[in-house]
Structure 1
């Protein structure tokens, strides 16, 4: 914690971002908070009245497209029922348990390998590859910290605000590499899939790579925050099914990202994401922020 504070205060921008995370600043209205954060991270004024870029429009959607269904769809446990009803239960990663506290987890009943994650945040995960190596004291601290978080306050992504915090345990799975699961993430605009990106090398020393592809599986010439891998990834066998399901799951939603995995030729659902990177990830070259923004049509009945 001390190192984070020192690092933050060496750079004024980071210092302000750090201070904004304090509970006392929760009184700041969402619109003002997002304008401040956008300026600090993107380096530009957030134009909500005439939003043009993809990142700007994601901020607009946070504020004005508040469909109550979204809370269920971002809840990693509750969304499972929606997926079972729309594309089929066979596309869900097997669930091993659901818990309200760390103390409820019976590790003796779990397999040697499994995955723990909270249902109400983004990016938090614990992957167990060998149960005999678990540090239960540290794991309890991690799980308890998850349960205390309200993810809404970080980026003002309102669907997360009223989710009941729980811990999910799922089957540990890897793809043909035997090392990881590649994420296939489809960018959907009101039921139309316009492009996708693949996340890979997440656990490598070099860090995460993100490769964008068009719908013909041709690499797209831009990056969004993360570096490209520099490799042409093979198109998944279930690609056409992924596209079909993405259309179904994104119908009548201005924008949503639909995530899938492929394991031994079988398609598994990952999650639904309404605000990738929370609308705070830069494009290189920048013109693609405008290109993707042109694909996102804001609901006319909610234009302010």
Structure 2
């Protein structure tokens, strides 16, 4: 029963509406800037599709006054990516994709996500192959954000489930790798909630990050600008709350508990009634 019910159906309908459309890729991959007017941002049907491009999402977050990681390089011409100009710690991620696929969280040559060493040429070969398969795909090389203690480590994910400026819940995930970790759900006041999804085993005694107030304010601000339901991923870092990405169809609506489905639908019907 995890993948049935009205909430799952709404997410699947959104996915079909967003992406089973001849304009979808053009809308998503048209480059946008923080300096573009909001009218230009919204000058497309289901304009939120622009924000599924991770570079556009960065620009939109900056437009809303939110912090993002420093950007070292962006492009498709992987051969011209000069690793000699990068610091010893950096992150590579694609502008299109999900589930941390083709993400490198590099610490002195080691990808912390798979604990393997990579040469610069090995990374280039992988990135080039992905661009060959999808020519509109770009890669971002970004700052490796330090955690609140000032250390380089895989950051805790804070995933806020938001409805037009309102937070239904957040999922704090102590990540070990892209697909493993421990996580617990909270409300916007850091009160623990019942499990909303089955994704990760729960963990006790998590402490709210020092910048939690800023995170809540950021999630609400970005959610209000997004207009409809979205999951907003944020990080607690040495420089405060930093934006990660928007996820319009989290887990394709699957693996939600009975409590989670009821919670999502209650917020959707109250704050986003009539929205896809």
Pair in the same fold by TM > 0.5: yes
Between the aligned partners of 1:145 and 1:263, the Cα distance in structure 2 is 32
Q: Are the structure 2 counterparts of residues 80 and 52 from structure 1 closer, same or farther at C-alpha, using a change threshold of 3 Å?
A: same
SS in 2 for 1:245: helix
TM-score for the superposition, normalised by structure 1: 0.69
CA distance in 2: counterparts of 1:301 and 1:128, whole angstroms:
40
Larger radius of gyration between Structure 1 and Structure 2: 1
Query: Which of the residues 247, 263, 276 maps onto 2:220?
Result: 247
Aligned length: 238
For each residue in 1:78-103, what CA deviation from the matched residue of structure 2 results, as whole angstroms up to 9, or x when unmatched?
22221112124xx1111111121321
- Which has the larger displacement, 190-199 or 131-140? 131-140
Is the Cα contact below 8 Å between 1:189 and 1:256 reproduced in 2? yes
Task: State how far apart, in whole Å, the 1-side matches of 2:15 and 2:62 are.
Answer: 27
Note the 1:41-56 alignment, pairs <5 A.
42=3, 44=4, 52-53=6-7, 55-56=8-9
Mean CA deviation greater in 170-179 or 230-239: 170-179
Which residue of structure 2 aligns with residue 23 of structure 1? none
Would the aligned equivalents of 1:98 and 1:169 in 2 still touch at CA under 8 Å?
yes
Q: Choose which of 107, 120, 135 in structure 2 pairs with 1:129.
A: 107
Contact 2:91 / 2:144 at 8 angstroms: preserved in 1? yes
Name the one with the larger strand percent. Answer: 2
1:144–1:192 CA distance, 2 compared to 1 (3 A)? same
> Which residue of structure 2 aligns with residue 222 of structure 1?
195
| Matched-pair contact (CA < 8 Å) for 2:171–2:186 | yes
- CA deviation vs aligned residue, 1:41-70 (integer Å, no higher than 9, x gap): 93x5xxxxxx622x2221122234684422
- Aligned to 2:175, which of 198, 201, 205? 201
Give matches, 1:137-156, under 5 Å.
137-148=121-132
Answer yes or no: is 1:109 the counterpart of 2:109: no
Distance 2:46 2:136 in 1: 15
- Separation (CA, whole Å) in 2 of partners of 1:239 and 1:192: 16
Distance (Å, rounded) in 1 between the aligned partners of 2:146 and 2:175: 13
| Normalised TM-score (structure 2) | 0.75
RMSD across aligned C-alpha pairs, in angstroms?
A: 2.8
Find the counterpart in structure 2 of residue 283 from structure 1. 256
SS at match of 2:55: coil
Q: Which runs of 5+ in 2 are unaligned?
A: 20-44, 111-116
